[in-house]
Amino acid sequence: MDKPIYKRILLKLSGEALLGKGSFGIDTNVLKFVAKEIGDVHALGVQIGIVIGGGNIFRGMEASTKGIDRVSADYMGMLATAMNSLALQNALENHGIPTRVQSAIGMKEIAEPFIKRRAVRHLEKGRVVIFACGTGSPYFTTDTAASLRAMEIQADVILKATNVDGVYDKDPVKEKDARIFSKISYTEVLTRNLKVMDSTAVSMCRDNNLPLVVFNIEKIGNIRSVVCGKPIGTIIEGEK
C-alpha cells in the first residue's frame, strides 16, 4: 500500500473548484468528488486541515472595484467561505469523516471559533478541520490564510489544489509552449511573479521553510498521490 510522507497537511481549495461547469454556486457532484478524494487521504491516517476560498459565490477584491467599500467587500467574501466550508463539512460527514469548521469570525451557532490548540486536538483525534473566513481581517486573501493556518497547526506541507497540473513559466491556457516546473524555489516564484499564490502567502512559506505543492485536483487520486510522495505537480521549496 501507498504510505504517506506527510503526517499533517493543509489543503488549500479555491471556491472556483466547486463550480463544476456552472458559473455560480456549488456543483454538488464536484463537492462529492472532492469529499471522496479527501476521504481517501484521511483513510491513510493523515491529519487534514482545509482552507477554502469563496470565489464561486463572492469575490471581495473584484466587488471593491465596482463601488463596494473594500473592507465590506472582503467581509462579504469571508462569509462566502463560511458557506463553502459548511457545504464541504456536510459532504465529508456524508462519507463518514468527522469534521469541524472553525471560523476566524464569530458565528457560534454554525462554527467553532478558531483556537489553535483546539484545532490541533481535533486533528490528533482524526477529525478534518475546515478553517473558514480567511484570517478574519480584510485585505488578506485565503492564500495568506492558508499559509497562516498551516504554520499555526504546524503542518508539514501546503497542498494547493488547482485546475492545472502545476506551476508553469507562463499561462498554460493561453500559451501552448508553457513549460511546467517539477521544482522551483519560493524566490523564483516571487521574482518571476508567477501567479501561484499571492506574494504574502509565498513569502510566509519561504520565511518559515514550509514546502508548497501545486497540483491538479480534477484528476482522480491526485491528492493521495501527492501525499504519498509521487511526482505530481510542482514542489515549491527553499533553495538547497
- Residue 118 domain-assigned? yes
- Residue 127 domain-assigned? yes
- Residue 105 domain-assigned? yes
For residue 114, which amino acid is it? Answer: F
Q: Please tell me the least confidently modeled range out of 19-33, 80-94, 132-146.
A: 19-33
Q: What is the mean pLDDT of residues 91-100?
A: 97
For residue 236, pLDDT over 80 is answered with: yes
- Residue 2 domain-assigned? no
pLDDT of residue 100: 98
pLDDT of residue 63: 79
Task: Give, in order, the Cα–Cα distances in Å from 155 to each of 40, 62, 152, 206.
Answer: 19, 31, 8, 14
- Residue 1 domain-assigned? no
Rounded to whole angstroms, the Cα distance separating 40 from 31 reads 14
For residue 214, which amino acid is it? Answer: V
pLDDT of residue 22: 83
Specify whether the CB–CB gap between 77 and 60 falls below 8 A. yes
pLDDT of residue 37: 97
Rounded to whole angstroms, the Cα distance separating 235 from 225 reads 13
The pTM (predicted TM-score) of the whole model is 0.94
All cell numbers assigned to 222: 491526485
SS3 98: coil
Rounded to whole angstroms, the Cα distance separating 197 from 14 reads 11
CATH code at position 182: 3.40.1160.10
pLDDT digits (tens, 9 = 90+) for 145-174: 999 999 999 999 999 999 899 999 998 888
Q: Please tell me the least confidently modeled range out of 83-92, 95-104, 193-202.
A: 193-202
Q: Please tell me the least confidently modeled range out of 65-74, 106-115, 151-160, 226-235.
A: 65-74
- Residue 233 domain-assigned? yes
Band of residue 240 on the pLDDT scale cut at 50, 70, 90: low
Rounded to whole angstroms, the Cα distance separating 51 from 47 reads 14
Cβ atoms < 10 Å from Cβ of 3: 9
pLDDT of residue 160: 97
All cell numbers assigned to 204: 510566509
pLDDT of residue 1: 62
Pairing of strands 180-181, 8-13: unpaired
Instruction: Report the chain's mean pLDDT, rounded to a whole number.
Output: 94
pLDDT digits (tens, 9 = 90+) for 77-91: 999 999 999 999 999
Please state the length of the chain.
240
Percent with pLDDT over 70 in the chain = 99
**Which range of residues forms the domain containing residue 115?**
8-237
pLDDT digits (tens, 9 = 90+) for 26-76: 999 999 999 999 999 999 999 999 999 999 999 877 877 888 999 999 999
Q: Please tell me the least confidently modeled range out of 18-22, 106-110, 189-193.
A: 18-22
* Closest listed residue to residue 59, CA positions, set 47, 49, 70: 70
Number of domains in the chain: 1
- Residue 3 domain-assigned? no
